[in-house]
Structure 1
């Protein structure tokens, strides 16, 4: 039973993409996208139902009405305060202007004393938020300060002349008169001035509406930027996949060409190395050195051949000796010992002979 009205309200807003657009339009300040609403349909329905009870800023009708009333009351109090403040500042400017010009008249003296006495009375008068038992400043009370007011006769004259003098001062301080207002009557000018606050309120509201529109446009621009970036990311990913597929197809031919190139380059380097080696040999070996090397080679080869022949003969003799057995080894060792003794005695005899000759 509880789902009947809710489904009816949601169906009245729309279905599918139209519902998403209406929800996004109803909550422009929320950072949401259609993808978020698509992934959360129940949340989308909740927002669609909630949109019928709140405005674009998220306020209910009752709260909006109370807020408007509070805003009107605030504006009324603000206008009242601005009116009093502008009047007070205008009076102070008038007093300062005549003090500078040294025009000491009874009117301005009376007005200055009245303002000063009222200001002091407010400072001495304790408010409801202060302690009533607090001692007065300099032992004075508001009644004593009020005794310093000018005479009633002068105050009455000042009040009678105040509107006229204040009007003159305001016209003089503004000092701007358009061609269209020169021929207007004083009543019409006063009427326009009375409607000036209302016009300012209209302009302020218009500025606020434009500010809200600007904020909504900013949020919309951010959402569109996010969508654009997401689509751009998808396009980049698709382009990367296409580039990868194309690269894999031509990778074999590219590798083969690279291999042929490196093989040719290696062959060229080897030929260059051989050329450098031949050049070094040509610089190092002259015809005379080559002829000498050839002669040395022939001599070494002949000596090597003679050594090899001697080796073969020794090996054949050694083989024939090994046939005789262990007795021949004993005789050979005895023969070697005798040979060493003979050589030793010959050396000693030679040395003795040389010593004897000396």
Structure 2
């Protein structure tokens, strides 16, 4: 991997390439890292690229070592102007369709085209207000100031992120050094490099903690002054040598992180060569910016579609309610007229159904009778009936004769009744005497 300068490729090992190659990698990594930082949540970032939790609103900026502060000064507190005027809570986008102004609102301003047509003076007022404010409801002057303030914030944030990246890379170098000391023996140059780097960082951090002596109201910790700490600085020759090597180490770490980001964004680039990866990394920031813009456009379009969907849903709901009310009114008006006809039809239906049920029962009865009484049984029953009818006829004749005799005797009157009683009594006495005679004969024999 190298940097093209005037038709030549300068490698990190060349004397002129080290100072050109490191800024190239740093800027490539920072541009990609800044975009990736904003588009990716903290849980999905690769290891070693987590979000830095140092606040931007501190009065003195993040606590960076003096070696980094000399290159990138700390960021002061930025005060952002708040929304002091303008219309809040809704967005008015005016357009002309003939002479009819229409509006697109955000809650809580829920205006419709009918409202604007019914209140023309209010429509003119909104139209005049829209000429003095932007889409967010701020006045044009305040919106311009806010845009300038955000521009300064982004500039300071860019500077702070650049310093923070270098700080993190140096911390990772020291951590790797501690791990390597546990696994293997390092060369004297490696030990000297890391010890010089660590000593320089510690001294500069302690010096920064002490702060300027003229601003302190309390005595310093342990009575130390900045001069006392500066005496612990490594020799200038070692520092110059360490700084030259630090550029190469930082360049290598940044290159690895750039390739890690590239492979995370595009896994198919893992098998590419370093030259091709470097070319892709150089364009990765623009790719991420384009993807971010497409996502924002898609979100805006989705938001507009949701507004239209809510509006159509409300319209359809109102139409359905009106249809239901109309149906209810029609039912109430025509129910009395059709109820009598419906009752008559139901009565006819029930009558026909009952008749069909009776016929079905009669058919079942006849079927049972036909199965029970065969031709032989019917003939026998006919003979029995004839005999019974003949006996009944004879009995009726005898009864008729007895009735005639009785009628003849009834003509005689009470005298006949007396004779009948006397005859009956004599007959009973005769029977008694016959019985006594039979018993007497039995006793004598």
Q: TM-score range by the shorter chain?
A: 0.5 to 0.7
**Aligned match of 2:101:** 19
Return the offset for 1:95: 0.8
Establish whether residue 251 from structure 1 lines up as the match of residue 339 from structure 2. yes
Rate the CA distance shift 1:243–1:143 in 2: closer, same or farther, 3 A: farther
Give the Cα separation in 1 of the matches to 2:308 and 2:120: 22
Counterparts of 1:179-218 in structure 2, within 5 Å, are 182-184=274-276, 193=282, 200=288, 203-218=291-306
**Aligned match of 1:284:** none
Give the Cα separation in 1 of the matches to 2:180 and 2:217: 45
Is the Cα contact below 8 Å between 1:28 and 1:216 reproduced in 2?
Answer: no
**Aligned match of 1:98:** 177
Give the Cα separation in 1 of the matches to 2:119 and 2:308: 21
Is the Cα contact below 8 Å between 1:28 and 1:56 reproduced in 2?
Answer: no
* Structure 1 counterpart of 2:193, from 95, 107, 126: 107
Is the Cα contact below 8 Å between 1:117 and 1:145 reproduced in 2?
Answer: yes
**Aligned match of 1:345:** none
Q: Tell me which of the two structures has the higher relative contact order, counting C-alpha pairs closer than 8 angstroms and 6 or more residues apart.
A: 2
Return the offset for 1:60: 3.8
Rate the CA distance shift 1:215–1:118 in 2: closer, same or farther, 3 A: farther
Rate the CA distance shift 1:173–1:45 in 2: closer, same or farther, 3 A: closer
Return the offset for 1:28: 5.2
**Aligned match of 1:308:** none
Return the offset for 1:148: 1.8
**Aligned match of 2:207:** 121
User: Paired residues, what number?
Assistant: 241
Rate the CA distance shift 1:35–1:226 in 2: closer, same or farther, 3 A: farther
* Structure 1 counterpart of 2:248, from 132, 152, 164: 164
**Aligned match of 2:155:** 76
Is the Cα contact below 8 Å between 2:170 and 2:250 reproduced in 1?
Answer: yes
Establish whether residue 143 from structure 1 lines up as the match of residue 231 from structure 2. no
Give the Cα separation in 1 of the matches to 2:228 and 2:300: 55
Is the Cα contact below 8 Å between 1:37 and 1:44 reproduced in 2?
Answer: yes
Give the Cα separation in 2 of the matches to 1:181 and 1:31: 58
1:90 alignment partner, SS class: helix
Rate the CA distance shift 1:203–1:93 in 2: closer, same or farther, 3 A: same
**Aligned match of 2:131:** 52
Give the Cα separation in 2 of the matches to 1:125 and 1:198: 41
**Aligned match of 1:268:** none
* Structure 2 counterpart of 1:134, from 214, 218, 222: 218
Is the Cα contact below 8 Å between 1:117 and 1:148 reproduced in 2?
Answer: yes
Give the Cα separation in 2 of the matches to 1:199 and 1:105: 41
1:19 alignment partner, SS class: strand
Deviates more, 1:56-65 or 1:156-165: 56-65
Counterparts of 1:269-348 in structure 2, within 5 Å, are none
Rate the CA distance shift 1:175–1:202 in 2: closer, same or farther, 3 A: closer
**Aligned match of 2:319:** 231
Rate the CA distance shift 1:159–1:244 in 2: closer, same or farther, 3 A: same
Give the Cα separation in 1 of the matches to 2:126 and 2:98: 13
Give the Cα separation in 2 of the matches to 1:185 and 1:12: 48
Give the Cα separation in 2 of the matches to 1:121 and 1:55: 48
Give the Cα separation in 2 of the matches to 1:13 and 1:63: 27
RMSD of aligned residue pairs (Cα, Å)? 3.7
Rate the CA distance shift 1:52–1:209 in 2: closer, same or farther, 3 A: farther
> Between Structure 1 and Structure 2, which shows a larger proportion of helix residues?
1
- In structure 1, runs of 5+ residues without a counterpart are 1-10, 263-358
Return the offset for 1:86: 0.7
Return the offset for 1:162: 1.4
Return the offset for 1:85: 0.4
